[in-house]
Amino acid sequence: MCGIIGAIANRNVASILIAGLQRLEYRGYDSAGLAVIESGKIARLRRVGKVVELNKALTATPLPGHIGIAHTRWATHGAPTEANAHPHVSSDEIVVVHNGIIENYLELREQLQAQGYAFTSETDTEVVAHLIHSKLKGQNLAQAVKQAVLLLKGAYGLGVISRHEPEHIIAVRKGSPLIIGLGIEENFIASDHLALLPVTQEFIFLEEGDFVDLHADSINITDAQGNAVERESKTSQVSHTQTEKGEYRHYMLKEIYEQPSVLSNVLEGRISDDKVLLQSFGENAETLLQQVKRIQIVACGTSYHAGMVARYWLERYAELPCQVEIASEFRYRTNVVEDDTLFITLSQSGETADTLEALRKAKDSGYLTSLSICNVAESSLVRESDLCLITRAGPEVGV
């Protein structure tokens, strides 16, 4: 899953989109692209490789336009080629960027081919573009997207625009992170708020199933049940210079050197008289944690390795039996849960798809309670866990 950025403004947006993609580069990707709408026409540029290649192409052919969407792709379906790079277009009308995986794309692709849609890529995403187009008959873009997503199985963060409705962006979030950035007479979407720091520090963190109709001067959000909802906006404390490399050669090095200060930030205000203040984990933490008889830790990658170290400490100092498992295994197997087991997840971003799914599964499996250890207070993992410990590591860019 890689990066999405979208903008609607009273100025040209291509340079905002490129700057946003550059700020998402740290996540790794294989190709990049953007599309804008100008005078009722779609203009699209895509390149394999780095965003700098896309930027070169844009400098050679500037693309004016007050609305646009852009993407860095991490190929899951189809090779990293220009034809497979996003945005994908249907019928010279609908433009889509997508993070995630559409699991029933083959079935949908066959149905759409039978209806006469010609595919120009191997991606699962192109299915979404044609599916939305197929729902347009007599309906506007918002209605068509709403109907189309009902047929999608899998995970998606979507940004959709139409050349016939250049006054808004439709965005949907299910299983992939997506946020809204609020500007003055301009609004944005992105898969990560770091992408938007040069243009705004005001964000709405969308919830699972949220559907957004984004105009330059208004935002309408409906939740997974289709009810109109107001989502609170949050001001990010992170300035965009904080996310720069400074004197370091790369982010990994910068973040290694930050570790001592991060550790003291993590502990600050959370220990007293050599004891951990249990209330720093959330409401009821004290009562719940005192009942814990065993611990299950679930995470991915480096967080999983951190969990393996934690296991030694928990068994040695707390004398509690502890198991550690990779989330991508845990989520797909049958688990036997013993009484009074604490379920701990670890994730820097709090959006790691397998870890999130493992938590959702654990919530139906009889664990005593769930605790997430995470760096992003607004993340899905923190929101969906009973208890949390926020690591206060500042923006983490090294992957």
- Residues lying near ligand GLU in the complex (CB under 6 A) are found at 1-2, 73-78, 98-101, 123-125
Q: How far is it, in rounded angstroms, from Cα 65 to Cα 199?
A: 17
Q: Treating both helix axes as pointing N-terminal to C-terminal, what angle do 105-114 and 125-134 enclose, rounded to 10 degrees?
A: 40
80/394 with CB nearer ligand GLU: 80
> 101 vs 216, which CB is nearer to ligand GLU?
101
Q: What is the C-alpha separation between 229 and 204, in angstroms, rounded? A: 12
What is the smallest separation between the CB atom of 154 and ligand GLU, expressed in angstroms?
9
Q: By the 8 A CB rule, do 80 and 182 touch?
A: no
* Smallest distance from ligand GLU to CB 199, Å: 22
- Report CA Rg, the chain: 22
Nearer to ligand GLU among residue 125 and residue 162 (C-beta): 125
- What is the C-alpha separation between 243 and 379, in angstroms, rounded? 18
Amino acid in the structure at residue 80: P
Other Cβ atoms less than 10 A from the Cβ of 68: the count is 32
Q: How far is the CB of 5 from ligand GLU (least distance, A)?
A: 13
Smaller CB separation from ligand GLU, 25 or 186: 25
Write out the H or E segment, with its range, that includes residue 90.
strand 88-90
Burial class (CB in 10 A: 0-12, 13-18, 19+), 149: buried
- Does the N-terminal peptide bond of residue 87 adopt cis geometry, omega within 30 degrees of 0? yes
Shortest spacing between CB 33 and ligand GLU, in angstroms = 11
- Residue 97 or residue 373: which is nearer to ligand GLU going by CB? 97
The CB-of-113 to ligand GLU minimum distance in angstroms stands at 18
- Closest approach, Cβ 21 to ligand GLU, in A, equals 12
Whole-number Å distance between alpha carbons of 199 and 191: 15
H-assigned helices in 250-352: 251-257, 259-267, 285-290, 301-313, 327-330
Name the residue with tokens 């100008």: 38
Pairing of strands 369-374, 387-390: parallel
Q: Tell the smallest beta-carbon distance from residue 87 to ligand GLU (Å).
A: 11
Q: Which residues contact 119 (CB under 8 A, 6 or more apart)?
A: 109, 112, 113, 126, 130
Closest distance of CB 250 from ligand GLU, Å: 22
Would you say 245 and 23 are in contact if contact means Cβ atoms under 8 Å apart? no
The DSSP-derived string for 55-89 is HHHHHHS----SEEEEEEE--SSS-S-TTTSSPEE
Write out the two tokens for 187: 């609004």
Nearer to ligand GLU, 66 or 88 (CB): 88
Q: Which is nearer to ligand GLU, 75 or 262 (CB)?
A: 75
Query: Shortest gap between Cβ of 309 and ligand GLU (angstroms)?
Result: 31
CB of 98 to ligand GLU, least distance (A): 5
